[in-house]
Amino acid sequence: MPTVGIIGTGLIGRAWANVFARGGWDVRLWDPDAAALANAPNLIAKALQDVARHGLATDPAAAAKRIGVATSLEDAVRDVAFVQENGPERVEAKLEIFARLDAAAPASAILASSSSAIVASRFTEKLKGRARCLIAHPVNPPHVVPIVELCGAPWTAPETVTRARAIYEEVGQVPIEVKQEIDGFILNRMQAVLLSEAMRLVGEGFVSAEDLDKTIRDGLGLRWAFMGPFETIELNAPQGTPDYCARYGETLYKLSSRPVTPDVWGKENVARAVESWGRAPSSADILKKQRWRDDRIAALVAHKRAQPKAE
C-alpha cells in the first residue's frame, strides 16, 4: 500500500491519519513537539474505534497498526506518495515546512497543505517542485466530515489536482475544486455570510441566539445535510431553478443587499449576541460536547452513505 506522510499531529493531522489509515494507506507521522508525536498514535487508535462504531472504519485495529512515527520530517516523507501538511497557520511556518518537504519527498509525491486561509501561492512560488503543491483544506474534524477543498496556486499542475482528487475519493472523502485562489476558499466564504447575518439579526434584537440556532438546526440544516443550496432551490419551484429565480430572485436580492459593516463583528454587537446566547460552558464542557458532536456527525454520515440515491 502507498504511504502518506502526515506533518503536524495536532487536531487536523491526527484526523487525516485516521482517514488515510482506515482507507488502507500506511501512515507516517511527524511533529516537532515530542509529546504531541508520542501521544498521537494512541489518540488516533481511539478515534478509529469511535468511528468504527458507526461503520466508518471496518477494521480499526488493523488501521491503527498501519500508523508509524518518524524521527524527522525528512524521515516521514521518504518514499511517500502523498504528504498532508498540518503545521501552524503562519506563512513563515508553511514556507519553512514546504521547502523541507520539497527537498525531501520523492519528486512524484503530491504535497498538500491543510491551511484554512493561506493560499498556496504565498509559500510555494520558489520551490522546484511547486507544480505538485496545493491546498487541501478540510473541515474540522476530517475523520467525520468528508469535504476537502482543493485549491492550487497558478503554477500547480492540473494533473496534481486530478490525482489529489482521486486519492481523497479513494479514502472516502468528498473533494471539491476551487478553480482560482480566493481568500477563505468556498466553505468559509459561505459560512461568513451566514454567520454575519446571524450576528446582525441577534445583535439587533430580531431574534434570540437560541431561536436563530433552531432555524438552522431544525430548518435549513435538515435539508442541507442531504443537498446544497442549488439542489434545494431546484426542488422549491415546480419548473426548477430558473422558475425559482424568476419567482424569488428579486426578493432574495433585496434581503441580502445590505452589506456587512464592521459593527456587525464589533465589540458591542458581539456582546449583545453573547448575552443573548446566555451560556458560559467550561473547556471541559466544550470538549465533552465536541465528542458528542463528532459522534452524531459520524452517525449521520453513515446514514447518508447507506441511503439509495434519489431518482
- Could you list the residues that contact ligand NAD (CB under 6 A)? 7-13, 31-33, 36, 86-89, 93, 97, 114-116, 137-138, 140
Nearer to ligand NAD among residue 22 and residue 137 (C-beta) = 137
Residue nearest to ligand NAD (CB): 10
End-to-end Cα spacing for the chain? 36
Closer CB to ligand NAD, 140 or 232, in the complex = 140
Nearest distance from residue 287's CB to ligand NAD, in Å?
13
Q: Which is nearer to ligand NAD, 95 or 260 (CB)?
A: 95
In the bound complex, what is the minimum distance in angstroms from residue 146's beta carbon to ligand NAD?
A: 13
In the complex with ligand NAD, the residue whose CB is nearer, 55 or 175, is 175
Alpha helices in the chain (DSSP H): 11-22, 34-52, 60-65, 73-77, 91-104, 121-124, 158-170, 187-203, 209-215, 221-224, 229-234, 241-255, 267-277, 283-306
For 184, the grid coordinates are 477563505
Residue 4 CB, shortest distance to ligand NAD, in Å, is 15
Q: Residue 133: which region, alpha, beta or left (left: phi > 0; alpha: psi -120 to 50)? A: beta
Which set of grid coordinates corresponds to residue 214? 433552531
63 vs 76, beta carbon nearer ligand NAD:
76
Nearest distance from C-beta of residue 251 to ligand NAD, angstroms: 34
Provide the minimum distance between the beta carbon of 187 and ligand NAD in the complex, in angstroms, as a whole number.
9
